[in-house]
Amino acid sequence: MLSALGQIALNVTDADRSERFYGETLGLPKLFRFGDLVFFDCAGVRLMLEGTAKESVVIGDECHYFTVQGIEAAYQELKARGVAMVDEPHVVAKMPDHELWMVFFRDPDGHLLALMEEKR
């Protein structure tokens, strides 16, 4: 039977540039690199960047969400590092026991990414 998600793959046009963005700019721990495949750890889920898309990357409607504590501080830090932010931290849902906050940004290939925090 299915269990936890083990790996997410993203096609990128430049493995070196994306390795710097996800590793240095976003601060994800790099697991290893094999040719144009770069692997990062996202709290137990592997993120694989496949740098074999030499001409263009087809951007779909998907978005990958990273959980954080202190979304405003994380937003300011990424903005200071030159990350292309789409908006500012905002409430997307008010639940009985918490508020769901998000802010969206893009990687160098235009993939939509987000920070999310459940504020209690």
Instruction: Assess whether 38 and 10 both reside in one domain.
Output: yes
Query: Is residue 100 exposed (0-12), middle (13-18) or buried (19+ Cβ within 10 Å)?
Result: middle
Locate tokens 């269990």: which residue?
3
Domain with 117 in it: what CATH number? 3.10.180.10
Locate tokens 């918490």: which residue?
98
What is the pLDDT at residue 53?
67
Q: pTM score, two decimals?
A: 0.92
**Does the pLDDT value for residue 79 go beyond 80?**
yes
| Confidence band for 22, pLDDT divided at 50, 70 and 90 | very high
Q: Which two tokens stand for residue 23?
A: 């590793």
What is the pLDDT at residue 60?
75
Instruction: Assess whether 63 and 53 both reside in one domain.
Output: no
Q: Which of 59, 56, 62, 57 is nearest to 8 (CA)?
A: 62
Number of domains present in the structure of the chain: 2
**Separation of alpha carbons 12 and 40, rounded Å:** 14
3-state secondary structure (DSSP) of residue 117: strand
Instruction: Assess whether 44 and 76 both reside in one domain.
Output: no
Instruction: Assess whether 75 and 107 both reside in one domain.
Output: yes
pLDDT cut 90: percent of the chain above it: 87
Instruction: Assess whether 46 and 100 both reside in one domain.
Output: no
| Confidence band for 41, pLDDT divided at 50, 70 and 90 | very high
**Boundaries of domain holding 114:** 59-120
Q: Average pLDDT of 79-101? A: 97
Instruction: Assess whether 51 and 68 both reside in one domain.
Output: no
What is the pLDDT at residue 88?
98
Beta bridge partners of 7: 46
pLDDT tens profile 60-76: 788 999 999 999 999 99
